[in-house]
Structure formats: C-alpha cells, structure tokens
Amino acid sequence: MSEPIEITDSHCHLDFPDFDGERDAIIARAAEAGVTRMVTICTRLSAEPQVRAIAETYAPVFYAAGTHPMSAADEPMASVDELVALAQHPKFVGIGESGLDYHYTADTAQVQKDSLRIHIAAARETGLPLIIHARDADDDMARILTEEYRNGPYACVMHCFSSSAELARAALDLGFYLSMSGIAAFPKSEALRQIFAAAPRDRILVETDAPYLAPPPYRGKRNEPAYTAHTARRGAEALGLDYAEFAAHTQANFDRLFAKAARYGKASA
C-alpha cells in the first residue's frame, strides 16, 4: 500500500472545545490522510497559552495568533509589540487571524479596521504572513490591504476565501495567496471554484477551518484536519490537475508563504 500524498491544513482551530479529549486521535487521523502539518489559529490573544501548548505537544502542529475581527470590540486591542513578542516562539508562524467581518459585526467596523492595521504592522515587522478573515467587507478590505502595502510590503493569505472575484484579484495583484476551504467543495460553489481556477497555481493553499465547514461527504458534521484531503481533491478537479500535482503545488506554496514552518521542519528532520 502506497503512502498517502502529503498535504498541509493551513488553518484550523484545534483549541476549540469541539476537540477536547480527542486531539491525539485527530492528529493520528490527519497523518493517515496525508495531512502532515497543521496551523492552529488563536483567535483571542487571551487563549494564546492554550494554543501554544497544543503546538508544543504535537510535532506536526504550528500556530498563529491574533484577534479575530468578530472579537475585536470585546478583547483588549493588541499591540504590535505584543504580537512581535509572541512571534519569537519557534512554532509561531503567522499573524492573525485578523480582518473585517461586516456580516455579523458591522457595528464594530472601526475597531476592526484599527485592529487590522495593527496586525498588518506586526506582519510587516516580523516577516510572517498575515492571515485574513474577510466577510461582507470586500471594498474596505481591498482598500486597506492595498493602502498598507504601499506603506511597506508584507505577506498575506486570504483564509477560507469565499468573497468576490474582485477581492481575489486585488489580493492576487498584491502577491497574496488564496486559501481553499470546504466551501469550495460544496456543490453550489461553482463560481468560487472558477475564482480558484483562474488564480495562479503558485498562490493557492488548502485548509479546513476545523471544526467548521466540513467538505462533502462530511458536510454538516464536525470538520477536522484529515478532511483537508477531500477539499484538495475537489480543488484538483477545478484546476484540471491530478490530486498529486495539486497537492504538490499547495505544499510548495505553503512552504514559500509559511517559510518559518518550512525551516522548522528541515531543522528538526
């Protein structure tokens, strides 16, 4: 029996209570599916110690931290210095997730914008990729990302991308990456798959956003990193590639964007 094709879940939330008591089994199932690396995302800096502990416990797990836009008004405003200090940890590989969410929290738009600019500054200073959450805020998102890039370049991934073709183009024009989640595998997501198919192959990542957004055949159930492979297979179809070729592209893309994680693997091999 051949070994599974290797792939990376570039965005999940292993600290969420949905996984309590099961993390050993979840990491094992991911390995069986060929998911050899995971980036678990801290969405409130108050939870950073718990997220860091998961990354320290499991060899395939890296982490990132920031303030989710939907929590921006409820949490103390992060500072650039605070984020830069957290980034000194060897398994801390990204800034965020940050961004704008006007679907549920449009009333806190200004706080979200202020928080986003702080996270961008931290990404610029650390050289780590910014991890962006964007929902129903395409115009402001494109404007702020572009304005800030003019102030100084930084790297970025549009996590769980499901926004407009216009925002995709704005992000790609800045050299950013688009990350494909289970949404792209849903039957009614053909327009989204076309956005990914039109994107350069060297700018696409895959993720679960677990425990959310499980792809078919697990839609409606708890998502987990092992299911990255199901989304990636659907992504390969959309791009007209076989699974091995698509997986290889996404692995190279992850290594390029999350270079700190790639270096860590080589250093500890």
Q: Binding site: residue ranges?
A: 11, 13, 97, 133, 159, 209
The sheet with strand 92-101 has its strands ordered as: 7-12, 35-42, 61-65, 92-101, 130-135, 156-158, 177-180, 204-206
Whole-number Å distance between alpha carbons of 68 and 96 = 7
Report the alpha-carbon distance of residue 182 to residue 219 in Å, rounded: 8
Q: Which residues are annotated as a binding site for a divalent metal cation?
A: 11, 13, 97, 133, 159, 209
Q: How far apart, in whole angstroms, are the C-alpha atoms of residue 163 and residue 94?
A: 22
Q: Which of 63, 72, 50 is nearest to 9 (CA)?
A: 63
Query: Residue 94: in which H helix or E strand, if any?
Result: strand 92-101
- Provide the H-helix boundaries in the chain: 23-32, 48-57, 80-86, 102-105, 109-126, 138-151, 165-173, 190-198, 228-239, 243-257, 259-267
